Amino acid sequence: CVAHNLCRCQPGFTGDDCSIAMNTCVASPSAGQLSAGGLKGRYFLDELLVQSRFERVDSRVNFDWGYGTPALPVNVTTFPSDHFSVSWSGYLRADRTGWHTIYISGDQIARLWLNRETYIRDTGSFSVSVYLVAQQFYEIFLDMIETTGPARVSLQWTPLKK
What residues have CB less than 8 Å from 147, skipping those under 6 apart?
A: 47, 82, 83, 108, 109
* Proportion of the chain above pLDDT 70, given as a percent: 77
* Per-residue model confidence as pLDDT tens digits over 85-144: 999 998 888 888 888 888 888 878 888 888 888 877 777 788 888 888 888 888 889 999
Res 162: pLDDT: 58
The one-character DSSP state at 123 is E
pTM recorded for the entire structure? 0.74
- pLDDT of 8 over the 80 cut: no
Which range has highest mean pLDDT (25-29, 47-51, 90-94, 136-140)? 47-51
Distance CA(35)–CA(41), nearest Å, equals 13
CB-CB contact of 41 with 23 (8 Å): no
Distance CA(39)–CA(91), nearest Å, equals 8
Average pLDDT, the chain: 75
Phi and psi at residue 21, in whole multiples of 5°?
-70, 145
CB-CB contact of 144 with 106 (8 Å): yes
Query: What is the side-by-side order of every strand in the sheet holding 39-44?
Result: 52-58, 39-44, 84-93, 137-146, 109-114, 117-123
The CA angle 16-93-19, to the nearest 5 degrees, is: 25
